[in-house]
């Protein structure tokens, strides 16, 4: 079970840049092995942080405009937005504990 929301170039602004609170965007692609490695971790975190962190997923192959706007060159890339402003990023597959630590850091 996941609470992650799929976003696209068309609705990125409404779902991320105009969102209140902490929003995490997972830039990924179906062919990306490390992306598939962190997907279940993000699914777990989306349940554990439900109501506190909004987790979204953006397929870079289908949504190149947003990927280019934020200079995403490697995937997976996780961008952290607080009240619509980019505040942090994680590039590559990292352990769940490292992501949870980032979530906690930005929820303060």
Annotated catalytic residue, options 32, 38, 42, 78: 32
- The separation between the first and the last C-alpha atoms of the chain, rounded to the nearest angstrom, is 26
Annotated catalytic residue, options 16, 24, 25, 35: 35
Is 32 in the active site?
yes
**C-alpha dihedral, 96 to 97 to 103 to 104, nearest 10°:** 160
Is 49 in the active site?
no
Give catalytic residue positions.
32, 35
């Amino acid at each position: 079970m996941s609470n992650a929301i799929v976003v696209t170039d068309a609705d990125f602004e409404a779902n991320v840049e105009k969102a209140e609170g902490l929003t995490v965007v997972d830039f990924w692609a179906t062919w990306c092995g490390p992306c598939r490695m962190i997907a279940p971790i993000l699914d777990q975190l989306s349940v554990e942080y439900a109501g506190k962190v909004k987790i979204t997923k953006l397929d870079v192959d289908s949504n190149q405009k947003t990927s280019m706007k934020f200079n995403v060159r490697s995937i997976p890339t996780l961008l952290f937005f607080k009240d619509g402003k980019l505040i942090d990023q994680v590039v590559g597959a990292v352990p769940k504990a490292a992501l949870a630590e980032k979530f906690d850091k930005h929820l303060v």
